[in-house]
Structure 1
């Protein structure tokens, strides 16, 4: 292991202040880098659907000192109830039995809680620039000239894109998203709605072939619900990406004849001011860097919500990238080591979709019955085995600091 030399990168621009960005900033600051984080939103983003931190990622947040904060924010969901087309119970399980997580170790927290905890660890140590984003990148022997949408221009030794699945940094560096996107055949809408059913710390999921509707109560009966509508769609609806009205219309048509409480959920979607619509997909790239620019988290290897591992890959990937930059003499060697040491972990977790990660959302009647039989089997055998992919990487010790 070598220490960072005088020829190594000293100034780093990170685009995106969600999960991977602040994590990377924390570790780079610890290793002596001068870090700037640019974020197009006006502040760290709160709210959002609950997310998981599992396996190797738990060790990352422990080493950052925020594990107790996240443990205090852990959503201890009591039960996961699956419903048939008429709303009758199919099975009632502990959530860990479905996710392959380890009770008492793995965490589920509000996305805003995790974002806030990460931001608080580093907000006073690095430069954050909100309400701005990267417009163009111009690489040369001495660094990367960056022009921001605000018109400002600055030069950095290295730029890292941590700006999500629809990364503008990746687009500016390598071209359109479509060449790296693997569509998984589903569209989904998430939003919050009133808790008209009086649910408390539980999740209900209704299914018919190719359609699912879920209500997630992360709090008590007086708190709003997270609603989730996920449906099979063979062709990716690219034309809907920036048209919220068309997105709502598509969802409403898809669920027009649905039973149970789905009509109420769709009505709430039309009234929601926090609707997020997207497709289930992965980002798969032959390389995660080009020249002095690298990608991390969803920008480089989004696994999709179907794996439940997006947050964990972002945390682990940021840790591994920072460590590589701190222990190699130049960015070329650092980026190569980051990819060499992290790619297998990413590949295993992305492959969860191929190994049953989408099993909660069957697209045929036969597949739905097989899934329901599997769920009834889990009720009869509640002891579960942790998903090996979640902990497939043993986190190396942090790089030495001088």
Structure 2
């Protein structure tokens, strides 16, 4: 009997466990490592659209995901007096809607995928890769505890700011800034909160959003413009510098800013990140490949991040299962998926500035456009306004 090939996957969020599922079905021995000491339960709302919906159907977890749906009713844009400027109900098909039909918290989806795979896949938490020695026919990996192992393939399924990616592409900075930063935090739900995603635009390019979840809390964001060359703190900030800066920046923003800033002072789940995309000329080198945000993050502005992760994992595993030659399979993965990724990363002109006007006049114009688009006649003319290109990809059939 031929020995099963071994794959090491670094990252246990979305792309990693999804890839683990398909690789195990393709008869590979799968090990998943994760930097965090346990499965990360946090995270904001994400959606699954188009081809991504078909992937989860083929995995048999669409009903499990639907059971954990945030049940967000749709999106409402809020004016300066707290009034609703325009409403857009949640989508009713696989792709459409600012709020997709299938919305779920990142941590909830991660749990669904982990539960699906952990009995047949080895997970190691609190583990990272120290070095990768690609020896042509596989990769020799040294872990942070000093131990080492040989794998036929290593796949980096980490986030946009992947540290392990630097081992494969040293000196390459593939992140393209979208000149915006966003702070994410979870705050208590109050009686006046609704099941709608409420999006408020202040002047100065600032915005505040409040989104319901299925856990009885509210997921809040504070977004603001940043220059491409401007330094910004990112990640979990224990020093308080980022929170202090946000207090100053949003002090006069209006609407629910006082509430969000008050809760931010002691929020346990707080994350600040620069919005960006990842652009690489290739997603593999030797016996190492990239999948998901580490390879081709399209940014939260695209509405396509989770779908790209799920579809990318499916195609990568499918091609590896179809060919005994790893290099051929990795090149096929790129050739098949890259056109879809390029469409996803091609954001509408003016994004994100048009949706985050700096002046009162700009905000008035933005609200006027939204009112027109949300009218009965406008909806017929603007059916693609909140419709990412998630259904422009036909999934291969790998049997």
TM-score greater than 0.5 by the shorter chain: yes
Q: Which moved more, 1:380-389 or 1:245-254?
A: 380-389
Give the direction of change, closer, same or farther, for the CA distance of 1:249–1:390 in structure 2 (3 Å limit): same
Which residue in the other structure is 1:32 paired with?
A: 27
Query: How far off its partner does 1:236 sit?
Result: 5.1
Query: How far off its partner does 1:105 sit?
Result: 8.1
Q: Deviations over 1:77-125 (max 9, x none)?
A: 224221223433322221449x962699841112122111111111111
Task: Map 1:1-400 onto structure 2 (within 5 A).
Answer: 10-96=5-91, 101=96, 106-176=101-171, 179-209=173-203, 210-219=205-214, 223-235=216-228, 237-241=230-234, 243-244=237-238, 245-354=240-349, 356=351, 359-381=354-376, 382=379, 384-385=383-384, 387=387, 389-398=389-398, 400=399
> Secondary structure of the equivalent of 2:80?
coil
> Secondary structure of the equivalent of 1:271?
coil
Query: How far off its partner does 1:57 sit?
Result: 0.3
Contact preservation (8 Å) 1:200, 1:219? no
Q: In structure 2, what is the Cα distance between the partners aligned to 1:52 and 1:367?
A: 29
Contact preservation (8 Å) 1:134, 1:168? no
Q: In structure 1, what is the Cα distance between the partners aligned to 2:142 and 2:244?
A: 38
TM-score for the superposition, normalised by structure 2: 0.91
The count of residues paired between Structure 1 and Structure 2 equals 390
Query: How far off its partner does 1:47 sit?
Result: 2.9
> Secondary structure of the equivalent of 2:200?
strand
> Secondary structure of the equivalent of 2:142?
strand
> Secondary structure of the equivalent of 2:56?
helix
Give the direction of change, closer, same or farther, for the CA distance of 1:280–1:83 in structure 2 (3 Å limit): same
Query: How far off its partner does 1:312 sit?
Result: 0.7
Contact preservation (8 Å) 2:8, 2:33? yes
Question: What is the CA RMSD across the aligned residues, in angstroms?
Answer: 2.5
Q: Which moved more, 1:103-112 or 1:297-306?
A: 103-112
Structure 1: runs of 5+ lacking an equivalent: none
Query: How far off its partner does 1:289 sit?
Result: 0.7
Q: In structure 2, what is the Cα distance between the partners aligned to 1:342 and 1:143?
A: 23
